[in-house]
Structure formats: C-alpha cells, structure tokens
Chains A and B, each alone.
Chain A
Amino acid sequence: MIKQLSVFVENKPGSLMEVTSKLTEAHINIRAVASFDTPEFGILRLVVDKPTEAKGYLTERGFVVRVNDVIGAELEDKKGNLNQMLAVLAENSINVRYIYSFVIREGRAPVLVFSTDDYEKAASILKDAGVKMVDESDL
C-alpha cells in the first residue's frame, strides 16, 4: 500500500505551485504527481516521502488535504504489461478510478499507481496474477 496525498486546488494560475512551494519549504520530496484537467477545480495527487508531515504542513497553511491508500505495482518494460494488469482487474469487476505512474526510483522498475474501489482486493488480485506490488517502504 502507498499513502497518497490529495489536495484540493482551484484551476487558476499558480495553484499547483502554491502546493509544491510549501512542500519545498517543508523539505518534503515529491515522488510522483498527477493532476487531471477539470474546468474549475481539481485534485492534485501526490506521493511524497513523508506523507503525514506533508499533510500537517499543508493543512496548517489552509489547504484541504486528504491522505488515502492507493496500490502500487511494478511495471515491466514490455508490450501488454499494463493491459494484463487492467485485464485481471476488469475480470474481477474492480473499478479503476484513475491511474498514474512514476519513474524516479534510482534504477529500479517504474511504478504504476492505482486508485480502485476495493484496494485490498485489487492488490491481492494483482499479486495472484504475478504482478510485483510496491509498498511504501519500497519507494
């Protein structure tokens, strides 16, 4: 399981930078980041090295932040790898809300982050299908 920060951001110039500059101030290292386009507001999702500290620091400065569990799976650089993972989740009727990936792992395999309905079940399904799962401690 990986702890992910979700931060409410308005769609306006500088809103993402507001978050990243606060994290820089707090000496927090961002491992992965994802944001999707929405007309007025959106959610900035982050994987960081110190999620609890990051939430505290941002909350004190007026941001709305939630920490939630997502699952991480190692990606192999071969055709059909992502498709295979999504296929097993689909077969088991697991709804994928969103996915994003991150690559900065000092020479190790990239990680794909999944947010799904039943993340514990999703993790065990992927594991059973031979996918290598990534934990907070492996990052």
Chain B
Amino acid sequence: MAGVSLENWQERIRDPKIECMSRDEMSALQSEKLVKQVKRVYENVPFYRRKMQQKGVEPGDIRGIEDIGKLPFTTKEDLRDNYPFGLLAVPQEKIARVQGTSGTTGKLTLASYTKYDVEVWGECVARALTMAGLTSEDRIHICYGYGLFTGGMGLDYGAMQLGAMAIPMSAGNTQRQMMCMEDFGATAFACTPSYALYLAESIQEAGLVDRMQLKAGIHGAEPWTEEMRRKIEDILHINCFDIYGLCEVTGPGVALDCIHHEGLHVYEDHFYPELINPATYEPCADGETGELVFTTLSKEGMPLIRYRTKDLTSMTHGTCKCGRTLVRIHKFTGRTDDMKVIRGVNVFPTQVETALLSMGGGVAPHYLMIVDRENNMDVLTVMVEVDERYFSDEIRKLDELKNKVAAVLKQALGVSVRVKLVEPKTIQRSEGKAKRVIDNRQM
C-alpha cells in the first residue's frame, strides 16, 4: 500500500550527466562510439565486413552518428545464419555468458556477452530501477524466468548494481510467490504484464493487498496497454513501469518509462535507436510509426549494427517532464510479425486488449485470438472470459453481452469478429510471454 502519487513523487536520476545530456553532447558521444564500433566490427566480424563491402561502405565513411544510414541492416535471419557464435567481435574466451530467446523456427536467438557487456546491462537496469523510484533500500521480487531468457538475470544484475536486495523467485507457483512477497516485504516486483495482472488478481482474491509493502511494478517482454497498467496499479496501489529490451541488444533495460508515462526513455548512449519505414527503409519523423532499429554502441561480445527489431513504435525527441533528455519510444503498436492481416486489415492483439478494457466490465482483459480460413475467407474468433459481476441467469443477457463484445471489437479492429464466451480463468495466463494469437490459416 506504499504507492506514491505524482504530487509527492521524488524523481531520482542515477546518471544525470548522461540521462539529461544536451542533444549536441549526446550526438558527439554517440558519434565517437559509433566510429569505434564500426571499425571494430569491420576488423573482427567477417559477416559485417562482407555486408559493408557489398554496400560499398568502409569504416572511414562513418565519421559520425549522422552517417549511420550508410550502414547495412542486420536482421533476425542474419543472426540465425550465424548461429551460435558467428557474429562475435572478440575471441571466444572473452565471452562471459550467453542469453537467448526461443525463436518460432526452433533455433534460439542467441546473444553473447563479455564481462563488460554484463556490467553495462546491469547499469542500464539500475538506471531503470532508479527511474521507477527504487533505491538501495528496496527489495525487488523478480518473478521473470531465470535462465536463458534475459528477464530474470537482467533484473537481478540491475538490483545488484543498484545495491538493492534481489529476491530471485523465477516464474511459477503463484501461491509461493505471494507468500514470499509478503514474508520478505518486497517493495517492488518484476514480471511480464500478463503475469503481473494475474498475480495482482490472485493477491486481491486472497485478501493480501494490505499486507504487501509493494510500491512499484516493473513489467515488460510483451506489449501491454495503459488500461492494463492502470488496472494493476489500482488493484495493488502501486506505480507500474514499462521496461523494454530484447536479448539481441542486451535484454531488459534498453528503455523504461518514467512516472509521467509519456514514452520509454532509451539509454541511447549504449543503444542507438532509429525508426524506419519497414517497406521503404526511409527514416520516420517524430510521431510517425515505424520499425525500431538498434545499433549497440558499447557492446563488445556481439555488437549489432542497425538491427531490425520488428517492433513497431514511434519516437519523441525533447526534454521529458522528468528532466531526462533521452529519446523516448512509445508503447508498442505490436510487432511486424504479431500483426495479423485479416481480410486485408492489419490487426494487432493490443487493439483487442484496449477494446475489452474500454468496455469497463463484463469481460476480463484476458483473451485469445484465433484466425481460421473458411471457404477462402479469414475468420477471426476472439475467446473472452465472462466476468463474474456481469454474469446473469439468463441466456438472453449472455447473448447480449456476447453481441456487445462483438460490436466493440468490430468497431476497434475494422473487421467482424466471432466472440466466444468462456469460463473465467480458462484462458492460459502466461508466466513468460502470453500467447494471444493462434493462426490456423495455411498460407
């Protein structure tokens, strides 16, 4: 019940020199780092040398950050082709650890870190935790999975760098999570937003909200909405923050939103973001939606040059209310590969979530989208859970609810939707990334 309102919020900035740097100073810093990084990868990574030669670019052509557009892109497929250690820029013995995520094709997306890379990672997460109002006095309950997935280790490194106490719970066993959270007096917790909501509801149902000392939640690894954030905040009386990262770039801690929730501040001294039109590769202006592209300016182990994340967002430059000047990326519209084209309309799972939450009750914001093809027509079915408070003894009223959900979704998505009401808690709650879409179409 230790939630802090904006009125008495005390903004903490771990590294004001970097986080509040002027644009000119930041560009100078990025330029210096990029020039070195390009030289390093050209000399040490055959893959980058070949790609640059194909494009007719030499390290000497890159004199500053403004020249970044001359460099070739790197894609997830490139990572797969060079799996597992083909992109190292240091000798293998310098690699201190690997982290990865399971790809949809079976092979992992693997990232290699030197000791220095791990330190930078921890420092970035520590900056993020500070942005969320945490200090060395806090106790951080980490229920992200520990292992190859970067969530658990990333938050752990950050807590250590901050000097806070880490509670390395890993995912699963909600009863035990609640017990430890209460017994150890956790003041913050970190996990995926879908699990955070599930955990919050479980804490509420068990009547434990008042016995918790939580004040902040750090959630990421899947797209979520403002409505979902408010829902978790309202149940637990805490502030929740959106953490962004991907293992290829470093893991969580690439960006975090501050208390003002007007975009996620990117640690651009280490990770230089660009936003491009995914079809034309042209850069996007502030406010335009495009694909996020990262160049790792500090990474030693497996540097990435203009890595296409497939995440769709928009960017804002300028000083935030919190005082930081770091460029901000906005809530993700989705991923280029989460996006489903249904009868020619682009549909993102987050749109379904926003629409369900906008109804203000009747159904829970847990859903599963199923796309089928019947008689050459795409059919979108959305399974939603009936909310106890709106359950009626009459089939007619349930039909009305179903029709209302269908109408709201059609309005939001622009395609008609078959709604299937299901019993509460039957849609799988994930402890990792939530599976929101099943596509049964044979393309």
Contacts and interface: CB of A to CB of B under 8 A. Distances in A.
Contact of B423 (A9, A66, A97): A9
B393 interface: yes
A115 B393 contact: yes
Contact of A66 (B393, B421, B422, B425): B393
- Chain B interface, >50% SS class: loop
A97 B422 contact: no
B325 to A, nearest CB: 48
Contacts of A115: 393
B393 A62 contact: no
B393 A6 contact: yes
A40 B423 CA distance: 11
Contacts of A10: 421-423, 426
B395 interface: yes
Interface string A73-102: 000000000000000000000000100000
B388 interface: yes
A38 B395 contact: yes
B52 interface: no
B420 A40 contact: yes
A4 B394 CA distance: 13
Interface in A7-27: 8-10, 15
Given A8-B386, A41-B398, A62 B392 contact: no
A135 to B, nearest CB: 20
Contacts of A4: 393
A110 interface: no
Contact of B386 (A38, A45, A64): A64
A43 interface: yes
Nearest to A45: B393
A19 to B, nearest CB: 10
Interface string B82-121: 0000000000000000000000000000000000000000
A40 B421 contact: yes
The size class of the interface chain A forms with chain B is: 20 to 34
Interface string B424-435: 111000000000
Given A66-B393, A68-B393, A97-B394, A41 B388 contact: no
A56 to B, nearest CB: 13
B423 A8 contact: yes
A17 to B, nearest CB: 14
Interface in B387-443: 387-388, 391-395, 398, 420-426
Contacts of A59: 388
Interface string A53-69: 00000010011111010
A117 B336 CA distance: 52
Given A6-B393, A68-B393, A115-B393, A62 B424 contact: yes
A62 B425 contact: yes
A40 B395 CA distance: 11
- The winner among A6, A10, A115 for most chain B CB atoms within 10 A is A10
B391 A41 contact: no
B423 A64 contact: yes
Contacts of A65: 388, 391
Interface in B6-63: none
A4 B392 CA distance: 13
A5 B116 CA distance: 63
Nearest to A18: B423
Interface in B346-392: 386-388, 391-392
B363 to A, nearest CB: 11
B362 to A, nearest CB: 12
B391 A8 contact: yes
Contacts of B394: 43, 97
A78 to B, nearest CB: 31
B391 A64 contact: yes
B393 A41 contact: no
B265 to A, nearest CB: 39
B188 to A, nearest CB: 29
Contacts of B392: 66
B203 to A, nearest CB: 15
Interface in A84-139: 97, 115
Contacts of B387: 64
B395 A42 contact: yes
B421 A41 contact: yes
Contacts of A66: 391-393
Given A8-B386, A42-B395, 4 more contacts: A8-B398, A43-B395, A63-B424, A64-B391
Closest 9 CB pairs of A and B: A6-B393, A62-B425, A64-B391, A64-B388, A68-B393, A41-B421, A62-B424, A64-B386, A8-B386
Interface of A: 4, 6, 8-10, 15, 36, 38, 40-43, 45, 59, 62-66, 68, 97, 115
12 contacts: A4-B393, A8-B423, A36-B395, A40-B420, A41-B421, A45-B393, A59-B388, A62-B424, A62-B425, A64-B386, A66-B392, A97-B394
Interface of B: 386-388, 391-395, 398, 420-426
